[in-house]
Amino acid sequence: MFEYFEKIKTQLDHLVQGQETAILQAAEWVAETLVHDCIIHTFGTGHSHMIGLELFVRAGGLANVNAMLDSIVMTAEGARRSAEIERVPGLAKIIWDQHKIGPDDIIFIISNSGRNAMPIEMAQIAKQHGLKVIAITSLEQSNRYPSRHHSGKKLFDFSDLVLDNRVPSGDGILHIDGNLTGAVSTISGVFLVNLIASEGMKIAAKAGIKLPIYFSQNIDGFSNEELYARYEGRVKHL
């Protein structure tokens, strides 16, 4: 009945098929952060920042998540402005330096195109500091267009693990009146990070780890204060 609905169902199947090994590897790295009391960092610009934000202070979600949020790369400060800023080299380090990041932490870096300077340089910096870098990107789009970084490389070149969001170039799965529309990158990315996080929780729970999971703040009788106190020194935006 609804074309977008039908195509999204197909998209979710397509996301998992052929990527089971990479998804499980990412889940194991998430589990390791829980076992060793490390942090999961997330970074994205523009709409991609919403995928990292999905894991941050989420009811039913992990508390050891630090979303590297910054107003200069969010559309709240101006959509065209943020699009230009993510192409400027050197800014990733400024954002990086504002966070407490350990060498045994991991980081999800999300960029649909994988071609702009900021996500590429964030991956470079993370690798230099010893973090495992997980990229969520569209390999179709990333391979189609040249890098905007002076190295000539893309996000996937600096990542330890690449998850293809299987998004067509142009980020649309519908054609209406000659226009490409029906954005899918956010749904694909949010699905992937929740899939990975939940599988990571299962692995850690089997290892006997008490999971640091937030309760909904709208359900009486529960409190997250213990988790806030545990992580506030390492998670910037609590």
Domain count, the chain: 1
- On whether residue 18 sits in a domain, the answer given is no
217-222: long-range contacts, CB 8 A cutoff, minimum separation 24: 217/59, 218/59
Task: List the structure tokens of 26.
Answer: 């990412």
- On whether residue 112 sits in a domain, the answer given is yes
Which range of residues forms the domain containing residue 70? 26-231
- Provide the strand spans (E) within 73-160: 106-110, 132-137
Count CA within 13 A, CB hemisphere, residue 28.
Answer: 7
| Distance from C-alpha of 142 to C-alpha of 120, rounded to nearest angstrom | 12
Task: Report the side by side order of strands in the sheet with 65-67.
Answer: 65-67, 40-44, 106-110, 132-137, 161-164
- On whether residue 140 sits in a domain, the answer given is yes
- On whether residue 15 sits in a domain, the answer given is no
CATH number of the domain encompassing residue 221: 3.40.50.10490
| Distance from C-alpha of 11 to C-alpha of 171, rounded to nearest angstrom | 12
pLDDT digit string (tens) for the chain, length 238 residues: 899 999 999 999 999 999 999 999 999 999 999 999 999 999 999 889 999 999 999 999 999 999 999 888 888 888 888 888 888 889 999 999 999 999 999 999 999 999 999 999 999 999 999 999 999 999 999 999 999 999 989 999 999 999 999 999 999 999 999 999 999 999 999 999 999 999 999 999 999 999 999 999 888 888 999 999 999 999 999 9
- On whether residue 1 sits in a domain, the answer given is no
The pTM score is: 0.96
